[in-house]
Amino acid sequence: MADQVGFFTDTSVCIGCKACEVACKEWNGLAGDPPEFRDSFDNTGQLDAENWRHVKFIDLVPDAPTVVGNGQAWLLMSDICKHCEHASCMEVCPTNAIIKTEFDTVFIQPDVCNGCRNCISACPYAAIGFSKDTGVVHKCTFCYDRLQNDLTPACAKACPTQSIQFGKLDDLRTRADARVAALQAQGYSQAQLYGRDDKIYGGLHAFFLLMAKPEVYNLPNEQNAGLPRRNNRGGYLGALFAAAIGVIAGAVALRRGAQDSPNDRGAGEAEKK
């Protein structure tokens, strides 16, 4: 197996230029969605089949005048599939179209996928989109073709501020630890790493330095980062309970003689004999 690789996205230095989005579309031949005016500088809107990178513009500009912006009036974040170590999408996929590559990234095989969309219901990051054109789901491939040729993924290559850093996972984690410590020392008490350790889906191959709580960025926090299979036991136990009660109730109601008048009951018993 090749070295485990990853993205470390430092949101504190993202300037919202969207070079990552453009580079991703250029390399992967994505047409993008029709332009749409939104109440923000964000005209991409979401990750989907045509947008594998999406720069989130989180507007935290206070209504009241303030003297200290502290760099947090807008939060910017270049979002992407997190390539989870324990991936919800991969867990539920009934065709095994979603696999781990030799780089330990998560990859959807378009020729194996049949478009059931179960992975979309499972992905907690809304990173997967369905394409009506191809009939299958798509998401970031981590530029699998570039990785196979020792090239840096397009988004990281294009990022002008090194907000998106690509490299070996262990190296990135070391860099991230130093960066978050430096920010906290500068007074950014909310600066935190998301997905750096195994508490979120066993660790994310695309992990982040955030300047606020994860939920501000529409990322589930540690308590809410659950795999779909957590509901198997409870769901099946509920169904088993209903099945047991249902069969007993059915047998009680449908047994011969139930609801019959005494005369009919006698006739029914006679039939059985």
250 binds other proteins (CB under 8 A): yes
How many residues bind other proteins (CB under 8 A)? The answer is 77
242 binds other proteins (CB under 8 A): yes
How far apart are alpha carbons 149 and 165 in whole angstroms? 18
Which is nearest to 4 in space by CA: 176, 202, 168, 165?
A: 168
Question: What is the token pair recorded at 37?
Answer: 């005016």
Residue found by looking up tokens 């303030």 in the block: 66
DSSP, collapsed to helix, strand or coil, labels residue 170 as helix
Give kind and range of the element (H or E) at residue 54.
strand 53-59
Cα atoms in the 13 Å half-sphere on the side-chain side of 87: 27
Binding mask 194-223 for other proteins (x = CB under 8 A): ---------------------x--xxxx--
Q: Which stretch binds other proteins (CB under 8 A): 31-39, 132-140, 169-177, 181-189?
A: 132-140
- What number of helices (H) and strands (E) belong to the chain? 8, 10
CB nearer other proteins, residue 72 or residue 118 = 118
DSSP code of 168? E
- Contacting other proteins within 47-66 (CB under 8 A): 48
The single residue among 45, 69, 71, 235 that binds other proteins, judged by CB under 8 A, is 235
239 binds other proteins (CB under 8 A): yes
Cα atoms in the 13 Å half-sphere on the side-chain side of 211: 21
The single residue among 4, 28, 46, 101 that binds other proteins, judged by CB under 8 A, is 46
Q: Are 8 and 177 in contact (CB under 8 A)?
A: no
CB nearer other proteins, residue 124 or residue 203 = 124
273 binds other proteins (CB under 8 A): no
Closest distance between other proteins and the C-beta of residue 81, in Å?
12
Q: What angle do CA 225, 227, 229 make, to 5 degrees?
A: 155
CB nearer other proteins, residue 159 or residue 206 = 206
Question: CA dist 145 to 42, 61, 114, 140, Å?
Answer: 29, 40, 22, 12
Closest distance between other proteins and the C-beta of residue 70, in Å?
26
136 binds other proteins (CB under 8 A): yes
Report how far apart the first and last C-alpha atoms of the chain are (Å, whole number): 71
Closest distance between other proteins and the C-beta of residue 64, in Å?
27
- Contacting other proteins within 66-125 (CB under 8 A): 88, 91-97, 99, 109, 111-118, 120-125
Closest distance between other proteins and the C-beta of residue 228, in Å?
5
The single residue among 1, 67, 185, 254 that binds other proteins, judged by CB under 8 A, is 254
The burial class, CB within 10 Å (0-12 / 13-18 / 19+), for 22 is middle
129 binds other proteins (CB under 8 A): yes
CB nearer other proteins, residue 172 or residue 204 = 204
224 binds other proteins (CB under 8 A): yes
DSSP code of 143? S
CB nearer other proteins, residue 122 or residue 180 = 122
